[in-house]
Amino acid sequence: MRSDYIIKLIDAYNENDREKFRKIILDLTDEEEKKGNIQLSNKILAALNKMDSNDSNDLSESQKKSEPMFSTSSGLTMFEPSGIYSPKDKSSNNNLIDWHFPEEISMDEIFLSDSISEQLNNIQLEYSSRAKLEKLGLKAENRLLLCGPPGCGKTSTAFSLSKKLNIPIAYVRLDSLISSLLGQTGTNIRKIFDSVIGKDVILFLDEFDAIAKKRDDKHELGELKRVVNSLLQNIDTLSDSVFLIAATNHEKLLDSAVWRRFNTTLFLELPDFNLRKCYFDNQVHKYNIRIKADSKKISNFTKGFNFSDLQEVIKKTVKDYSFHQHKEEVTTNDFIKTIINMLTFYNRDSLSSEDLQKLKTNGLTLREISEITGIPKSTISDRLKELQLVE
């Protein structure tokens, strides 16, 4: 360990400059990591986390007011918006973290299944009862992995938890964090974790598979594998006050060691009929136009759609029929035409037998398909029968 660091630390201590002291420690851990002393770096960082936690508990009321923190009604410690630290990527100068606050989140825009909502309520109960759990020798859940196809509500789940726990969320898209200089990627990871040390926040790592990939993949570069190691080490030294959430569309790509870092894994499915209906009813009221649509029918025809798909159906229908065609009222049939266009990739003029089967599978009757496509009902029936014979 270099002697100049020791001198700087003593100076910072004598000046009672906590931020200067902390920065020197972080510089020291960076240098030790670069020299290959990973274990020593992690031990120093863990000690710093403990110091930060103890300092926040020991501060007097006057000291607390001078810190970039404040107490919420739940008794948790949060950043003030003005005190937020958002690290930047060195090469692009882009922020590595987007901060969001509970008061900005509307639960009216979040649609979750009953089972997921129940899990979040259990997490909320544990988090608000941390002191009771500690007396029992237990810890509250604070490491959550979200898996599932795109558009199934993983981001909504993370933001819902931010609202329930009344703590801000540090949102990070890991796929955008990867630098052209792979060495910088590891540095970016460290910057992100350092920025939330000792704070009561949610650290939300989206597109988690972009970095947490299996290290036994022969096609991956050695440097990228070191990035995975760095990610795991930072998770291990993360203070308990930080609630870590990671989300992925490709859980099968994750390294086996990643799974052990999380208390709970939730698999989110595509929205079912009831969720699709609730979402449709909620969204159509946003537009200043008369809409007369059977939401049950729309929900039935959008089987397999995610929330993004449904939003696209609504926006395209309202735009096409109210703006381009100047209709005073948008109807169920207008929405059905949009759904068919999306299912057949806007190729209704040359529908294949497979396209017709897809429409039927999504709940459309032969009569409805015929009315919208212009193909005689008998022809549709014959083509579907031929397809079944081939299969």
Residue 47 has pLDDT above 90, yes or no: no
Architecture of domain 68-267: 3-Layer(aba) Sandwich (3.40)
Residue 39 has pLDDT above 80, yes or no: no
- Name the phi and psi angles at 296, rounded to 5: -65, -40
The dihedral through the CA atoms of 112, 118, 124, 126 has a sign that is: negative
pLDDT in tens, 133-144: 999 999 999 999
Residue 206: strand pairing partners: 173
Residue 61 has pLDDT above 60, yes or no: no
Q: What is the mean pLDDT of residues 358-377?
A: 81
Which has more confidence, 142 or 323?
A: 142
Q: Where are the beta strands (DSSP E) in the chain?
A: 69-71, 77-79, 98-100, 143-147, 169-173, 202-206, 243-248, 264-267, 290-292, 329-331
pLDDT of residue 165: 94
pLDDT in tens, 273-296: 999 999 999 999 888 889 999 999
The span from the CA of 119 to the CA of 169, in Å, is 19
Question: What is the helix, strand, coil percentage profile of the chain, to 5?
Answer: 55, 10, 30
pLDDT of residue 34: 64
Residue indicated by tokens 């949060």? 78
**Antiparallel, parallel or unpaired: β 290-292 and 264-267:** unpaired
Can you read off the two tokens belonging to residue 172? Answer: 């990070």
pLDDT of residue 19: 73
The span from the CA of 349 to the CA of 363, in Å, is 21
Contacts of 347 (CB under 8 A, 6+ apart): 355
Helices and strands (DSSP H and E) totals, the chain: 18, 10
pLDDT of residue 164: 94
Which has more confidence, 181 or 196?
A: 196
Instruction: Tell me if 181 sits within 8 A of 91, measured CB to CB.
Output: yes
Residue 363 has pLDDT above 70, yes or no: yes
The span from the CA of 358 to the CA of 283, in Å, is 25
Instruction: Tell me if 208 sits within 8 A of 176, measured CB to CB.
Output: no
DSSP per-residue string spanning 3-63: HHHHHHHHHHHHTT-HHHHHHHHHHHHHHHHHTT-HHHHHHHHHHHHHHHHHHHHH--HHH
Which has more confidence, 51 or 281?
A: 281
Q: What is the mean pLDDT of residues 205-217?
A: 84
The residue type at 176: S
Q: Is 146 helix (H, G, I), strand (E, B) or coil?
A: strand
pLDDT in tens, 71-107: 333 333 344 443 467 788 777 788 899 999 998 898 8
CATH 3.40.50.300 domain position(s) in the chain:
68-267
Q: What is the mean pLDDT of residues 228-235?
A: 90
The span from the CA of 321 to the CA of 44, in Å, is 63
Contacts of 331 (CB under 8 A, 6+ apart): 292, 293
Residue 249 has pLDDT above 80, yes or no: yes
pLDDT of residue 78: 40
The span from the CA of 155 to the CA of 205, in Å, is 10
* Neighbour count for residue 242 (Cβ, 10 Å): 21
Q: What is the mean pLDDT of residues 231-256?
A: 92
Residue 372 has pLDDT above 80, yes or no: no
Can you read off the two tokens belonging to residue 183? Answer: 């060495």
Residue 181 has pLDDT above 70, yes or no: no
